[in-house]
Amino acid sequence: MTVNKFKIKPKSKSKGFGKGLFASVERRLKLEYYFEEGFPVKYLPKILFVMVLGLIYISNTHYGEKTVRKINNIQAEVEDLRADYTTLKADLMFASKQSEVAKKVKDLELTESLRPPFKVEVPEGEY
């Protein structure tokens, strides 16, 4: 007794069979051979496991790239803040120089003392 087998017979090239990329891949891999007796259910757990591992790998890659982008953005922000800090520090150092302070208080009619400071000494029993 003969057994019927599922076979795909290629159609004529004039109707478009085998013109596409997937058709040529199917022809080369001979996928119809693997599914002659039906879908191989015994391999289903292994296939699902590999698919889950692939999804985990893809999600981990996306998460890593997102983290790298965040790190780059934060590093750029830190550089901007560092530049602002040094600029403000330099401005403050310049504004706190004696000549600059004298210019700013000139409007208040305050002048620099021309006498050097002197030390006030208080006897020990007096205070």
- Average pLDDT, integer, range 93-115: 88
Predicted local distance difference test score (pLDDT) of residue 75: 98
CA distances from 119 to 7, 112, 122, 125 (A): 112, 18, 10, 18
Residue 114 confidence class, pLDDT cut points 50, 70, 90: confident
pLDDT at residue 14 greater than cutoff 50: no
pLDDT of residue 17: 53
- Residue 76: predicted pLDDT: 97
What is the per-residue pLDDT for 53? 98
Longest pairwise C-alpha distance within the chain:
131
> How far, in Å, CA of 13 to CA of 52, rounded?
39
Does residue 38 have a pLDDT over 90?
no
Domain boundary assignment for the chain: 41-102
Contact 5, 36 (CB under 8 A): yes
Count the Cβ atoms, other than its own, within 10 Å of residue 125.
Answer: 5
Q: Which residues contact 27 (CB under 8 A, 6 or more apart)?
A: 10, 18
Is 60's pLDDT higher than 80?
Answer: yes
The more confident residue out of 39 and 96 is: 96
The predicted pLDDT at position 77 comes to 98
pLDDT recorded at residue 57: 98
Coil, strand or helix: which one is 60? Answer: helix
